């Protein structure tokens, strides 16, 4: 196997071609689980790279298989990337802005895919490794649980993957850096809907009604005590209400019969998640009862918390120290945002690291309409993913 710096030099020499791939993907973003144009473009490049196997239609995604010397191995490493975009207008100022109305790669998945494609290019040209590497191209990360769909469609049954790895671009840290920590690094993302029913009436006679807006408001306020008074102060949790819908803007003198609250909860540890779900339901029902109303909480668990397995996280950190140097390896704090790669991490050990993207020209945060993945980070990202695949495949084979 070549030294990490030699591998990085390979990607630097291919920088123009690799950047062109990303710019094309950036211009034609698609959302959700059905990504026909994106999938076709990825397929075309993988076929040009001459991967050994290319499997389509696995939960809407693709899996490209590359064998090292000696052919197929018992020991497989999975490298996962996400492919979907956001329903957001692209307000970037570069010359390759999105050509799709209200569609944008504002979370950097165009860069993630490009890194995976670059990794495929290197691995198919340098097969001096032991083991098998599977490149997993996943749809629907942005709220569609695409990772879960691929798992349910037999991802780990059809491919004997021992460990799985991924990365996410991070504009808040400098380009050329890598952030990695073991343990929980991204939160579980749950959503809820609370339906409140009171008794409608005239705004001038609240004594003859049961005010659903008042009840809903009290539920919002009381629910904030969950984090401040029920959750262990040394553990993290968030309870956020995103919308309250009741009545009509033209009905200033009408007390509405019903009100609906929606929001999200973020937690790390399963026991905290259980606590937050239970207390939210109890507070909603109890508060409503105190006012003579009724309330029901519908709670849905979307994405689990993402847990970096300690041994695999340490292996990635050791690789990062070689690729970018000690000064550029950062302790990455846990964040309350979510990532459906967590579903894969529940099935196989592995980890996700963060790739720094920030510089003077790349200041916009993730999910911002002006966000653009930094091309200067592509070589570092591709080197990291390639060396992870090579080193972990080699380690598993011994």
Catalytic residues: 84, 141
CA distance 5 to 364: 29
SS3 362: strand
DSSP 166-234: EEEEEEEEETT-EE--SEEEE-EEEEEEEEEE-B-EETT-GGGSB-HHHHHHHHHHHHTHIIIIIS-TT
CA distance 275 to 273: 5
CA distance 197 to 193: 13
CA distance 172 to 1: 33
Cβ atoms of 38 and 138 closer than 8 Å: no
* Dihedral pair phi/psi, residue 250, rounded to 5°: -90, -5
309 to 127, 392, 395: CA distances (angstroms):
28, 14, 16
CA distance 188 to 179: 20
SS3 317: helix
Query: Which residue stretches of 96-136 are H helix?
Result: 109-125
Cβ atoms of 92 and 370 closer than 8 Å: yes
Tally Cβ neighbours within 10 Å of residue 44: 10
Cβ atoms of 111 and 377 closer than 8 Å: yes
SS3 257: coil
SS3 76: strand
SS3 247: coil
**What number of residues does the chain have?**
398
SS3 162: strand
């Amino acid at each position: 196997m070549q030294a990490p710096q030699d591998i990085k030099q390979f990607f630097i020499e291919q920088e123009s071609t690799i950047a062109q791939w990303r710019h094309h993907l950036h211009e034609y973003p698609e959302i959700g689980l059905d990504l026909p144009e994106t999938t076709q473009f990825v397929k075309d490049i993988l076929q040009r790279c001459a991967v050994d196997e290319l499997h389509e239609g696995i939960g809407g995604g693709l899996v490209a298989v590359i064998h090292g010397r000696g052919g197929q191995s018992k020991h497989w490493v999975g490298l996962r990337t996400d492919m979907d975009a956001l329903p957001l207008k692209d307000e970037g100022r570069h010359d390759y802005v999105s050509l799709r109305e209200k569609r944008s790669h504002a979370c950097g998945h165009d860069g993630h895919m490009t890194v995976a494609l670059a990794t495929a290019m290197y691995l198919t040209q340098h097969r001096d490794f032991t083991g098998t590497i599977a490149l997993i191209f996943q749809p629907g990360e942005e709220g569609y649980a695409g990772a879960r769909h691929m798992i349910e469609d037999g991802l780990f049954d059809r491919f004997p993957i021992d460990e799985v790895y991924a990365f996410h671009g991070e504009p808040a840290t400098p380009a050329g850096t890598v952030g990695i920590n073991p343990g929980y690094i991204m939160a579980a993302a749950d959503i809820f809907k609370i339906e409140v029913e009171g008794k409608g009436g005239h705004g001038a006679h609240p004594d003859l009604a049961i005010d659903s807006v008042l009840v809903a408001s009290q539920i919002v306020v009381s629910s904030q005590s969950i984090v401040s008074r029920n959750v262990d102060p040394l553990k993290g949790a968030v309870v956020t209400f995103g919308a309250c819908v009741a009545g009509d803007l033209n009905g200033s003198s009408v007390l509405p019969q019903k009100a609906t609250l929606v929001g999200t909860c973020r937690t790390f540890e399963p026991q905290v998640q259980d606590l937050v779900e239970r207390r939210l339901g109890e507070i909603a029902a109890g508060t409503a009862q105190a006012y003579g109303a009724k309330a029901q909480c519908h709670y849905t668990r979307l994405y689990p918390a993402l847990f970096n397995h300690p041994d695999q996280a340490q292996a990635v950190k050791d690789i990062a120290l070689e690729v970018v140097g000690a000064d550029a390896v950062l302790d990455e704090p846990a964040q309350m945002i979510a990532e459906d790669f967590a579903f894969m991490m529940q099935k196989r050990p592995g980890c996700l690291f963060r790739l720094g993207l920030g510089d003077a020209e790349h200041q916009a945060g993730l999910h911002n309409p002006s966000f653009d993945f930094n091309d200067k980070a592509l070589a570092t990202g591709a080197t990291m993913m390639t060396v992870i695949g090579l080193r972990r495949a080699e380690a598993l084979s011994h």
